[in-house]
Structure 1
Amino acid sequence: MTIIYVHGVKVRSAESGKELGKSFQHWLAPKLSVNNALPGYEPVYWGDLAATFRWNLASRPPTPLLGMGGAEAFAGLGSLRGAADATIFDQAPPVQLEAGPVLGGPTIAVAQAVPSLETIPFAKRPDFLADLYLACLPTGKKDEPNDPVIDQPRIAGLAAAAAAVAGHWDAIVASEATEDARARSLVAAVDAGLGNNGLVAMGGIADWMSRAGEVVRRAAAWPGDAVGTIAGELRPLGNTFVAYFIGDVLTYLDRRGSHETPGPIPTRLLAALRRAQERKKATGEKIVIVSHSMGGQLIYDALTTFAVGDPLLDGIEIDHWITCGCQVSLFAEMQLFPGQPEVAEGQKLPMPARVRAWTNYYDTNDLVGFVMEPVFDGAKDLEYHTGYGLILAHTGFLARPSFFQAIADRL
């Protein structure tokens, strides 16, 4: 088995894809390994070929923006990722607050307390730890926040680290006398599992660690799903993401080249596909592609345009294509793919001929994640709640252990 991963916009380090390999191997290897051998892993990095900004995005206005979003976020920790120290929820007793509607979510008016750390269900512990870690992690300067899932390469292995620490949950919790101390120990264990002492490197270790207990207390004090409606996202983060999204898309479209002369990004992807196909021909192992965001458009172009007529790739079969936070259907509606076939009015497009199965995951709070079924015949849409709001919902897939488990179950 070969797993090919293609990242989305704003990624600017090849290390991110390499670190994500830990999560793919952790969840997919038991399902896909042949003769107990680890599946091959091909992260395709193209961020160095994407957009650059001459004035370093000085054009973004820095005014605050309150982000709305979230649904069914157990314990509400997902929405606390990047939250400000004080929000409207801190200004009134939670039982008097009414939340929603939440981008399609229900209206909630009853306060629901989060159980103590000792009683978090076993199945929810990995996601809880990933969410807790991200909610506590410093997000950068006030006027220059970042999304660590794509901006900090070492964080890309968070799902695997959280799952490993969840296996020692009971021992860690039992070793501490207070909820604050338990939360701090859990966060420290996850950080250690990421491969280096990031807490010390970032500085401010005491403040950073004290926030772990605070996050758990705030989640317990806020009303149920209402926690999922507020993310203290700042406008610079949103503007940065939008700028990179537009910039990377336009850069790719401008430089993708033609079928006869592929541009540098398609060339890099084609090389990974050829290596996977060579292994498949030699061993019979399957090929699984996972693409996030703009990575989906790169895959569609590669399979429907650039691979056509290639002596090795003409016969390639992708056994399963997994997309998340994807815009392939949107691009197809705008007819932006050179290899997109013509279909009669009212008919759907076929899946790429070289794809045997296509599963698309989307979060209803992800403003740039689209569904595929209304446009592509044979594609399967599955809803996945990251628990995050707006921009952070777009990258939240890659931080949560349950997402990788969902992929494994689907395969």
Structure 2
Amino acid sequence: MPIVFVHGVNTRKGAKYEKEVRNRNAMFRHLVLSQLVDDSSSACIMNPYWGDAGATLRWNHASLPQSAARAFGRSERLEDVLLGEVATTLPPRPGQSVLVIARESFSRAIDVLFAVAVDLASDGSAGGVVELWTSANDYATRNPRPDWLDSVRNDAEFFARLSREIEDRQPDAATAQAFGPREVWQRVREAMNRIAHSFSNVGSDLLLVSTRRRLHATVSLFLGDVFVYLQQRGDKGQPGPIVQCIIDALVKATEAISDVDSKLIVVAHSMGGNIVYDVLSHFRQDLTCDALVTVGSQVALFEELKLFKLRDLSVPRDPAADRMPKPDNIRHWLNVYDTNDVLSFAASGVFEDVTDIDYVTGKGVLSAHGTYFQRPSFHSLLGERLEEVLQ
């Protein structure tokens, strides 16, 4: 069951990009494909990269306001971004960072803790961290607020109790051993320490400044990539470089379909959703997608503005009742949005036969847009919904 992932704006190659691809692939295999196929280890996952054909800011963001410009380019760690989403209060004393989050929402604390652990994992242990999250998430589902949360006094005690609770419930010790439990738990412990360090260095005012500069930087590249794409997407006879990149990946994935892997899934984030819709509705209507998942995307907004190549100005005559038909070569369409994500839009009010899914990443405004695919819980939900539509 091939998966093609089409990235969105503000994506450029480098160590951060390579790590994101590795971690996302691991979560696709262990949390999505594992619910759809018997052997997810050999499934084809493709990550076409179009960022090098995107926007280039010729003055290196000189147009950003001074405060944002000074901050832009600093290394921003995942835990800093996630804390901007989930943290409503600073811990009352050192060593209680994760505990504070857990007492507000135990499941969210598990998700943040393991998202950072996956980010810290080596190539060989990322899958093990994801598998361990599955056990931790199962425990959190059965115990939304464990009684012991009120008795542990700090992060160290929280970690010790959590690890003991999960290990006591491991159904298959041999499976856990195969992933190297010591290294896996070490990554989780390191993640907890990184979160604590981030809490100690990032106060509420600094979180606000960080959000503002991410907003400036992301919006500038978002607009840049959109303008470049619209200007250079070409036509059917001569597709532009971004369109051709995605066409090539979809053709290759289609060729990988077999009796064993009989369905093609396309997952598209942000601007990637607009590109995929353009490709399937106009450039290559001969290509078929069994399931299209648009995440944090603007497909409905682009259609409201009639920006796609497939441009039918007769729809809608009655906005309250009329919808744009879903392209026939998209068999199932799931659209995931977060009301906290200012760059994501619902689609069912514009298109026929599309299922909107409201996924809550946390409390962040801009951070929500970039962290869907860094959360184990998102991939688990995605696997469940794909299993429903593809079964």
Do both proteins adopt the same fold according to a TM-score greater than 0.5, normalized to the shorter chain?
yes
Aligned to 2:317: 345
Aligned to 1:129: 113
Counterparts of 1:51 and 1:352 in 2: how far apart (Å)?
Answer: 29
Amino acid of the residue matched to residue 193 of structure 2? M
* Mean Cα deviation higher: 122-131 or 42-51: 122-131
Partners of 1:351 and 1:379 within 8 A in 2: yes
Change in 2 beyond 3 A, CA 1:232/1:305: same
Q: Which residue among 346, 349, 353 is the counterpart of 1:378?
A: 353
* Mean Cα deviation higher: 297-306 or 232-241: 232-241
* Mean Cα deviation higher: 261-270 or 158-167: 158-167
Instruction: Give, in angstroms, the shift of residue 30 of structure 1.
Output: 1.8
Aligned to 2:279: 302
Q: Which residue among 285, 307, 313 is the counterpart of 2:262?
A: 285
Aligned to 1:8: 8
Change in 2 beyond 3 A, CA 1:126/1:290: farther
Alignment of 1:98-177 (within 5 A): 126-130=110-114, 161=129, 164=132, 167=135
Alignment of 1:195-274 (within 5 A): 209=193, 212=196, 215=199, 233-274=210-251
Aligned to 2:42: 38
Partners of 1:360 and 1:372 within 8 A in 2: yes
Q: Which residue among 146, 156, 160 is the counterpart of 1:181?
A: 156
- Mapped pair 1:360 → 2:343: no
Amino acid of the residue matched to residue 385 of structure 2? R
Aligned to 2:305: 334
Partners of 2:82 and 2:112 within 8 A in 1: no
Counterparts of 1:274 and 1:243 in 2: how far apart (Å)?
Answer: 32
Alignment of 1:17-56 (within 5 A): 17-33=21-37, 38-56=42-60
Change in 2 beyond 3 A, CA 1:209/1:302: same
Q: Which has the larger helix fraction?
A: 2
Tell me the secondary structure at the aligned position of residue 382 of structure 1.
strand
Partners of 1:159 and 1:401 within 8 A in 2: no
Amino acid of the residue matched to residue 357 of structure 1? H
Partners of 2:86 and 2:364 within 8 A in 1: no
Residue by residue, what CA displacement relative to the aligned partner does 1:258-310 show, whole Å, maximum 9, x if unpaired?
111001111111111111212226656101111110000010011011113xx
Amino acid of the residue matched to residue 317 of structure 2? E
- The alignment-based identity, stated in percent, is 31
Counterparts of 2:40 and 2:90 in 1: how far apart (Å)?
Answer: 52
Instruction: Give, in angstroms, the shift of residue 45 of structure 1.
Output: 1.2
Aligned to 2:292: 321
Change in 2 beyond 3 A, CA 1:183/1:60: farther
Structure 2, unaligned stretches of length 5 or more?
69-79, 140-147, 163-179, 387-391
Counterparts of 1:39 and 1:324 in 2: how far apart (Å)?
Answer: 21
Instruction: Give, in angstroms, the shift of residue 180 of structure 1.
Output: 3.5
Counterparts of 1:45 and 1:366 in 2: how far apart (Å)?
Answer: 23
Residue by residue, what CA displacement relative to the aligned partner does 1:3-55 show, whole Å, maximum 9, x if unpaired?
11011111112523343111111112222225666321111211111111112
Aligned to 1:409: 384
Amino acid of the residue matched to residue 127 of structure 1? D
Residue by residue, what CA displacement relative to the aligned partner does 1:70-122 show, whole Å, maximum 9, x if unpaired?
xxxxxxx98633899xx9x669x9xxxxxxxxxxxxxxxxxxx9968999998
* Mean Cα deviation higher: 116-125 or 297-306: 116-125
Aligned to 1:60: 64
Change in 2 beyond 3 A, CA 1:83/1:232: farther
Aligned to 1:80: 83
Amino acid of the residue matched to residue 315 of structure 2? V
Amino acid of the residue matched to residue 212 of structure 1? A
Counterparts of 1:37 and 1:160 in 2: how far apart (Å)?
Answer: 13
Aligned to 2:366: 391
Counterparts of 2:2 and 2:288 in 1: how far apart (Å)?
Answer: 12
Counterparts of 1:26 and 1:7 in 2: how far apart (Å)?
Answer: 20
User: How many residues are treated as equivalent by the alignment?
Assistant: 330
RMSD: 4.6
